Structure 1
């Protein structure tokens, strides 16, 4: 019997010896490896308490009155949180990563699209973060040399890569230590920001100085973590129950991410800076600013490296994520050195348009065919054309919505993808969930 893992993502019999990665990148997480609710929630909250998200909030803050700003953040966070919670629930039920679940939805070859799309966007996001660290560190110390910034980028990228290489345990411990400290610093800066404008009343009295369509604003909020949220099953597959996964996603993506967008908006309105790291610099607290910078981005980017690591393992049908964590980190660091972070807002809009339909197709297909679990002996076809077509139509309509300024692109993409994939799965007669393992 061959020692390579099966292309459907399962390893049985003698094949189990080939799985040397304790994070199970291409196989279901077994019961003995599942984690507590607290553990999964810590990892997801550590992922989304992420200072570059504040830059999205900074773009929103000056464009809306305070009441409208809260409404935009609430709508975007609800869309993101609800979407990710469903994805996380499916991850806990199947024990599979998003890209391996895509094998059942899109086919064993069609899933390569998901691996390239999700892994590729995460590599780009990793590059954004590494570039941000280099620039903000240089600003803290007054370095003008590109070489100094580049050295910081390379060194911090190596640290993040090593954490992801260690796997779930590494991300858990880094998040457990750094996230509470980061939140304390962020709330302190929020309080200091309110002092600048005379409290909540003064903040509410600030008039908009720019403009932005509500659909674009909501798409920006969703886009902050929609790519990562689509890959929430990478971590919720370790949850012991579906409800644990749902609540961990709500804490991380609705509460945690929403707070970071709000913090960025307040910083932009009060200090003219969305990033609280720069606000701390302005207040003369450079040391604390660096603590916030490194502690925050280290843990978040380790999760990002983990995500493109498991995507690479699926793409090349390998049982270990480690080579792809390293390779993706090298590519992302090269992008950072080239200045990829300068295009953040446009990048977020693209993510908010083309990533959600992929998760929508997975959700719709799971609800139509796999609610009772995935059959042990089911081997996916090479391509599942109905779901590939559903993704293409949903992504096109999401893009068209953004071009025409009609509706909210990520919501349209998710809803159309769920509806089409459910309808096509039901009408095709390929409903194979009955009798499957739960």
Structure 2
């Protein structure tokens, strides 16, 4: 295969197994629109609804601000690594966790993304059934799962086109819904006066806020920001999406729930008389996010199924996700968010410490570097981070998990230098002479 042919093949395969070359990096506006397309997601609105049902407005905003800062910091560090290396989440896992270890970690994220996809597919069925009660839910779920899977085969270009359509529309409808929530509560003072039937602990509210997009901040970020041209691009994208776009979706959901008493965003819009007008917009929004799940999931699977074309991995991912939607994974939504917030943040601590302490800010060429099958130091640090999430009583669990994993990995990187050794060239009789 010639060099030009190989380059074309890598491009068609979305650089799933190689670094994105500088010539293929994207503009700032294109990265923002694609990334906001990920963030403008109905599931974040659902999380906002859970937060709104368990808090008053002042408490909600405090939790929202803290969770936004946490997501921005984590995502920015991961984004910088992605920009500098041009690698996917799965490829970063390969360096940090080893040849087999990376497959275990990537598989966990794949399962997580399948969970998100199944929730998205179910929500399309729920929206359609709420709008047209005579249309059965399950057939719509199956059809939407198939269509979203097919669309995901076209990769980041298709997501960009779709995002240009649904992002502005979702933005407009979210502002309209927020306005109606305030108006329907008797104005701002009326909304502020509403108290929850059961107040959630503040730490749990922060956990929900972080969990709303922690999977994206850690696992989606490399898959998109590997296309960034500069470090400042990567940081600006993360600030806009984590400090503005994701909080807007949480506010959308929280205000609607506080105002109407409905936790489900479909029924919030129905109560506000917006479901008919917003029907197509919300469907496009869900489809855009679900396609992103399939895209990132297929890239993560590429490090395990190295010989399998990406489109085959996309189809397998979509099939399993659709089955999950049909069997009712949506019913475990709250527990799913808690699981993400307790396990995924620590991965960020491992990646960041490993990149700067083990690899000194430069991943090696794997053609000349021998990665072990499992890098035990990374797993130990990850487990330390997860344990800190549960055992440290002060602060915020997500932050505790990241910091503990970072410190543990930085220390182990110095103690376990034997994990990384340059591969020694084989000495033949002729070369020895």
Q: TM-score, normalised by structure 1?
A: 0.90
Contact 1:123 1:331 in 2 (8 A): yes
Q: Which residue of 2 aligns with 1:7?
A: none
Are the aligned partners of 1:77 and 1:253 in contact in 2 as well (CA < 8 Å)?
Answer: yes
Structure 1 residue 200, shift from structure 2 partner: 1.8
Match of 1:6 in 2: none
1:419 equivalent to 2:407? Answer yes
Hey, what does 1:381 align to over in structure 2?
A: 372
* Displacement after TM superposition at 1:217 (Å): 1.3
Q: What do residues 27-62 of structure 1 show as CA deviations (whole Å, max 9, x unaligned)?
A: 100111110111111111110111221221112113
Q: Distance in 1 between matches of 2:39 and 2:117?
A: 14
Q: 2:64, 2:209 within 8 Å by CA — same for their partners in 1? A: yes
**Does 2:292 correspond to 1:303?**
yes
**CA distance in structure 2 between the aligned counterparts of 1:21 and 1:119, rounded to whole angstroms:** 22
1:244 aligned onto 2:237:
no
* Correspondence for 2:352: 363
Match runs of 1:27-176 below 5 Å: 27-143=18-134, 148-176=136-164
Matched ranges for 1:325-340 at <5 A? 325-340=314-329
Residues 296-347 of structure 1: per-residue CA shift (max 9 Å, x gap)? 1011111011011111111222374221111011001001001111111110
TM-score under structure 2 length normalisation: 0.91
Native 8 Å contact 1:230 1:356 kept in 2: yes
How far, CA to CA, are the matches of 1:274 and 1:184 in structure 2?
21
1:436 equivalent in structure 2: none
Query: 1:25, 1:319 within 8 Å by CA — same for their partners in 2?
Result: no
Deviation at 1:208, TM superposition (A): 2.7
Aligned mates of 2:114, 2:91 — CA distance in 1:
18
Distance 1:34-1:17 versus aligned 2 partners, 3 A rule: closer
CA distance in 2, matches of 1:324, 1:29: 20
With 274-283 and 375-384 compared, the bigger mean Cα shift is at: 274-283
Q: Distance in 2 between matches of 1:24 and 1:215?
A: 39
Q: Is 1:47–1:252's contact at 8 Å kept on the other side of the alignment?
A: no
Does structure 2 retain, via aligned residues, the 8 Å contact 1:375–1:432?
Answer: no
Deviation at 1:408, TM superposition (A): 2.5
Contact 1:20 1:319 (C-alpha < 8 Å) held by counterparts: no
Residue of structure 1 equivalent to 2:397? 409
Deviations 1:385-430 (A, max 9, x none): 11121112212232445xxx65422211111111111121134346
**Contact 1:88–1:237 (CA under 8 A) maintained in structure 2:** yes
Note if contact 1:62-1:268 (Cα within 8 Å) is conserved in structure 2: yes
Q: Structure 1 residues 272 and 208 mapped into 2: Cα distance closer, same or farther (>3 Å)?
A: closer
Where does residue 180 of structure 1 map in the other structure? 168
Change (3 A) 1:203 1:371: farther
1:256 matched to 2:256: no
Separation in structure 2 between the aligned mates of residue 317 and residue 140 of structure 1, nearest angstrom: 43
CA distance, structure 2, for counterparts of residue 222 and residue 207 of structure 1: 23
Q: How many residues align?
A: 419
Distance 1:72 1:356 in 2: 17
Distance of 2:181 and 2:218 partners within structure 1: 33
* 1:276–1:383 CA distance, 2 compared to 1 (3 A): closer
Aligned to 1:209: 197
Q: 1:219 Cα deviation (Å)?
A: 1.0
Listed one character per residue, the Cα deviations across residues 179-218 of structure 1 (whole Å, up to 9, x for unaligned) are 0011101101111111112222221122232121112111
How far apart in 2 are the matches of 1:324 and 1:338? 22
Aligned to 2:424: none
- CA displacement, residues 109-142 of structure 1 (integer Å, 9 cap, x when unaligned): 1101221111111011100111111112111111
Rounded to whole Å, the distance in 2 between the matches of 1:25 and 1:127 is 23
- Residues 228 and 304 in structure 1, CA contact (< 8 A), matched pair in contact too: no
Match of 2:429 in 1: none
Post-superposition CA distance 1:40-95 (Å, at most 9, x none): 11111110111221221112113223211100111111111211111111111110
